[in-house]
Amino acid sequence: MRTGKSCFWTMLQALAFLPSMALKDSQTTTKRVIEEPEFARPIGNHTFFLGREAVIGCAVSNLGKHKVGWLRAEDQTVLTMHDRAVLGARYSVNMDAPHTWQLRIRPLRAEDRGCYMCQINTQPTMIWQIGCIDVFVPPDIISDDTSSDVSVQELENATLTCKATGHPPPKITWRREDHEPILLKKPQTREFEKVESYVGSSLPLLRVDRRQMGTFLCIASNDVPPAVSKRITLLVNFAPTVKVPNQLLGAPLGTDVKLKCYVEAYPNTINYWIKNRGEMLLDGPKYTIREEKTSYKVSMWLTIKQFSKSDIGTYNCISTNSLGKSEGTLRLYEIKLNSPSEDFNNQISVAGGPMVFVIISTLYVSTEELGPSPKLGVTRP
């Protein structure tokens, strides 16, 4: 009986005749006399996950005194010979299934992707068959090729980019972290459309609008879990714009009067109120000053307590940030409740105090971006 080593060399020498003879040989094996070895079934192509184990089987009948070896098809490296591994600790061979030489590769690397040859040292030429393995690799985001947080001026263009490795090549999906739809400019228009998600490595944002500000998730996924994601925050910088819902406010003496302004700006603003172009008003016994901020929107309130003749006048809400300054103007006047000409249809009672306003709906807009002011009839008492 030959030793494994001499068998190994015999096989290596025989490789020199491959592949021209081997192919012909394997096609004719079925017609040989029954004692000759033959392959019971094809190896097939198989897919395994990176880091796990690959197992492919070579089923042989009538092996007789012959030996089975596994080779890497690409460079004909011998991996296993009969029942033992020849090359490195990652390869092994076993016969868990009857008459099947199982090649095991563990842990599996991406470079193990390829085809493997099972060979039997028949004489004068060897017979062989080939099977291939694919190594699936979970997605991984390439930090260097992926946007960090992006800061742009409003109406500039911005592109968020996300690149990922993996096999099969991962799909990149964009979503907003707050689950709001993504606003995308319709081509050739100034209009936006809302989409739940966007697929593509780059998310192009043309003439960025403040409403697009927020944190986006780029999600890389392929057939291999887990999907991975990265947060990318888009900051849209713009000077403050101020909207005044009620520019003219009438109130009876002795009531509390609430003045309101809406500000939009990024980065953050400093906001305050002035009266008759004078000093800044301070929160205290006479005035209550409040503001509420959600993302780039700020609501400002000034409550004038115990409205008196001296409170009649012009008030401004003023908002500034690093990009500019904007203000809204409100005029406060007295309503004489006893006057018979009073139009009560427009009065609103506000819970929490005897507040009565005559609402005169005009709009103050500090920039043209927000569109023209509505033309509304003004009712004066």
Ligand X SMILES: *[C@@H]1O[C@H](CO)[C@@H](O)[C@H](O)[C@H]1NC(C)=O
Nearer to ligand X, 43 or 219 (CB): 43
Query: Among 18, 132, 150, 217, which residue interacts with ligand X (rule: CB under 6 A)?
Result: 132
Shortest separation between residue 45's beta carbon and ligand X, angstroms: 4
Closest separation between CB of residue 207 and ligand X, Å?
6
**What is the torsional sign of CA 132, 135, 136, 140?**
negative
Under 8 Å CB-to-CB from 91, ≥6 apart: which residues? Answer: 70, 79, 80, 85, 103, 104, 105
CA gap 229, 219 in Å, rounded: 4
Footprint of ligand X on 187-226 (CB under 6 A): 206
Can you read off the two tokens belonging to residue 256? 């509390």
Min dist. Cβ of residue 158 to ligand X (A): 9
Mask of contacts with ligand X, 54-83, x by CB under 6 A? Answer: ------------------------------
The gap from C-alpha 202 to its chain's centroid, in whole angstroms, comes to 11
Which residue, 73 or 274, is less far from ligand X as judged by CB?
73
Shortest separation between residue 135's beta carbon and ligand X, angstroms: 13
Number of residues in contact with ligand X, rule: CB under 6 A? 5
The first and second tokens of residue 19, run together, are 């592949």
Least distance from ligand X to the Cβ atom of residue 279, Å: 41
Tell me how far, at minimum, the Cβ of 182 lies from ligand X, in Å.
Answer: 18
Under the criterion CB under 6 A, does residue 306 sit at the interface with ligand X?
no
Reading the block at residue 46, the tokens are: 């198989």
Nearer to ligand X, 56 or 249 (CB): 56
Show the tokens assigned to 132: 């291939």
Taking the least distance from each CB to ligand X, the nearer of 202 and 320 is 202
Beta strands in 142-191 (DSSP E): 150-153, 158-161, 164-167, 171-176, 182-185
Our CB check for ligand X shows the closer of 77 and 295 to be 77
Whether residue 18 contacts residue 119, with contact meaning beta carbons closer than 8 Å, is answered with no
**Of residues 234-293, those binding ligand X (CB under 6 A):** none
> Looking at the chain, how many residues does it have?
381
By the rule CB under 6 A, 157 interacts with ligand X: yes
Closest to 42 measured CA to CA, from 26, 31, 54, 53? 26
The angle subtended at Cα 363 by Cα 263 and Cα 370, nearest 5°, is 60
Report the residue from 74, 145, 156, 279 that binds ligand X according to the rule CB under 6 A: 156
Choose between 116 and 296: whose C-beta lies nearer to ligand X.
116
The CB-of-42 to ligand X minimum distance in angstroms stands at: 7
Tell me: does residue 45 bind ligand X (CB under 6 A). yes
CA distance 172 to 35: 56
Q: Which is nearer to ligand X, 198 or 262 (CB)?
A: 198
Rg (CA), the chain: 39
What is the DSSP pairing of strand 46-49 with strand 127-141?
parallel
Q: Are 101 and 118 in contact (CB under 8 A)?
A: yes
CB of 117 to ligand X, least distance (A): 12
- Output 140 or 156, the one with its CB closest to ligand X: 156
Smallest distance from the beta carbon of 105 to ligand X, in angstroms?
17
DSSP-derived pairing of the beta strands 158-161 and 182-185 = unpaired
Closer by beta carbon to ligand X, 40 or else 363: 40
Binding site for ligand X (CB under 6 A): 45, 132, 156-157, 206
